[in-house]
């Protein structure tokens, strides 16, 4: 008989994390633990207000699944038990962890991988005054890839300042739905001139039908417009890449299936995260293998990480230890 527990944890951020929709100073996460005999599986998720989630609702969803989980519900059954989102992610990742520990193998073996390789992550520059963004870029100029948040049509100065401060870094611009189609068409050639390699979610989700037939000079990546395989077909012809996050997909199980279908549809992969600890990043390391862009910098944005956490040297993330996850 399994035993399920869930709790809320709050982890202070080193600096306020600011995007076009608002700011936060701490990562508020939900951790689910499933114990069975000597084995314990853990999963961490981030309730996200943009998708109508609160900590209380996520805890309530987990509590509502308690009887089925403690009776032995597996990952396949879980997909129909809860909708995609943070609650299912926490439970799905906990079940992966528990299954790996029961079997005495690593989680990536269960996922069909012979090994897990290190990956290089982006580092995020929060939205703010131009000089503040430039200073943050200057402090991280040795990182191979920076992702900067923009929030309006007039943020080209910020992009230019970041480019000057970090001339060798590859740049991604993340609008978090803040642009109009006219903004995008006006900005795109300038972003190419500044060496931007990718623009993430330029338009509001639900309004990106404007991208049909648009030949963007800079590749576009869907984020808020894609959660699960249900939204994938609509992204084809509008975006060149899709950003898969475990919290949006509702866990590693759906995320792996989504990644396979996205590849089959000719889309590139970005693997992203919410701001959280290493426990949330560890399952995404499996998903990140071979992705064109990896954005798993959550632990780098905290004042401290959980112990043990992932080993991150510069922007290189090593595979997780079994003591952390999987």
What is the full per-residue pLDDT of the chain (326 aa) written as tens digits?
899 999 999 999 998 887 766 778 999 999 999 999 999 999 999 999 999 999 999 999 999 999 999 999 999 999 999 999 999 999 999 999 999 999 999 999 999 999 999 999 999 999 999 999 999 999 999 999 999 999 876 689 999 999 999 999 999 999 999 999 999 999 999 999 999 999 999 999 999 999 999 999 999 999 999 999 999 999 999 999 999 999 999 999 999 999 999 999 999 999 999 999 999 999 999 999 999 999 999 999 999 999 999 999 999 999 999 999 99
Peptide bond into 167 cis (omega under 30): no
Question: How far is the CA of 319 from the CAs of 33, 93, 94, 106, 118, in angstroms?
Answer: 21, 16, 17, 11, 6
Q: 278 near 324, Cβ under 8 Å?
A: yes
How far is 185 from 181, CA to CA, in rounded Å?
6
Paired with 221 in beta bridges are 200, 241
- 244, 293 contact by CB (below 8 A): no
Structure tokens, 21:
């929709």
Burial class of residue 109 in the structure, from the number of CB atoms within 10 Å of its CB (0-12 exposed, 13-18 middle, 19+ buried): middle
Burial of 266 (0-12, 13-18, 19+ CB in 10 A): exposed
Residue 79's contacts (CB-CB under 8 Å, 6 or more residues apart) are 88, 250, 253, 254
Cα distances from 74 to residues 18, 27, 37, 91, 254, in angstroms, run: 37, 28, 16, 10, 13
Rounded CA-CA distance 61/7 in Å is 13
Taking the alpha carbons of 12, 155, 245, 317 in that order, is the dihedral positive or negative? negative
Q: Report how far residue 247's alpha carbon sits from residue 88's, in angstroms, rounded to the nearest whole number.
A: 8
- The question of whether 120 is a catalytic residue gets the answer no
**Is 0.75 surpassed by the pTM of this model?**
yes
State residue 16's pLDDT score: 82
SS3 187: helix
Active-site hit among 101, 147, 149, 248: 149
The single residue of 24, 101, 120, 245 carrying the catalytic annotation is 245
Structural domains of the chain ordered from first start: 3-105 (3.30.390.10), 119-317 (3.20.20.120)
| 101 included as an active-site residue | no
The secondary structure of residue 213, as a DSSP letter, is T
């Amino acid at each position: 008989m399994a035993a399920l527990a869930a709790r809320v944890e709050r982890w202070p951020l080193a600096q306020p994390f600011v995007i076009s929709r608002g700011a936060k100073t701490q990562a508020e996460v939900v951790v689910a633990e499933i114990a069975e005999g000597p084995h314990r599986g853990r999963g961490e998720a981030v309730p996200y207000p943009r998708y109508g989630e609160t900590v209380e609702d996520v805890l309530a969803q987990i509590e509502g699944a308690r009887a089925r989980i403690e009776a032995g519900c597996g990952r396949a059954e879980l997909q129909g038990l809860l909708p995609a989102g943070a609650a299912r992610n926490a439970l799905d990742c906990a079940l992966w962890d528990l299954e790996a520990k029961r079997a005495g193998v690593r989680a990536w073996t269960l996922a069909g991988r012979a090994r897990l390789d290190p990956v290089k992550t982006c580092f995020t520059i929060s939205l703010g005054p131009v000089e503040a963004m430039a200073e943050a870029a200057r402090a991280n100029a040795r990182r191979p890839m920076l992702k900067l948040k923009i929030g309006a049509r007039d943020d080209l100065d910020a992009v230019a300042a970041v480019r000057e401060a970090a001339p060798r870094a590859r740049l991604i611009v993340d609008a978090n739905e803040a642009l109009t189609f006219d903004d995008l068409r006006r900005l795109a050639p300038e972003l190419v001139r500044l060496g931007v390699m990718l623009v993430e979610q330029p338009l509001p989700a639900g309004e990106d039908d404007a991208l049909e037939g648009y030949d963007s000079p800079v590749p576009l990546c869907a984020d808020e417009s894609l959660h699960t395989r249900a939204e994938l077909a609509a992204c084809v012809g509008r975006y060149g890449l899709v950003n898969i996050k475990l919290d949006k997909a509702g866990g590693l199980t759906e995320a792996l299936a989504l990644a396979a279908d996205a590849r089959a549809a000719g889309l590139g992969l970005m693997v992203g995260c919410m701001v959280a600890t290493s426990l949330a990043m560890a399952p995404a390391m499996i998903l990140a293998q071979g992705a064109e862009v990896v954005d798993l910098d959550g632990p780098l944005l905290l004042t401290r990480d959980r112990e043990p956490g992932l080993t991150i040297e510069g922007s290189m993330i090593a595979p997780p230890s079994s003591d952390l996850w999987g």
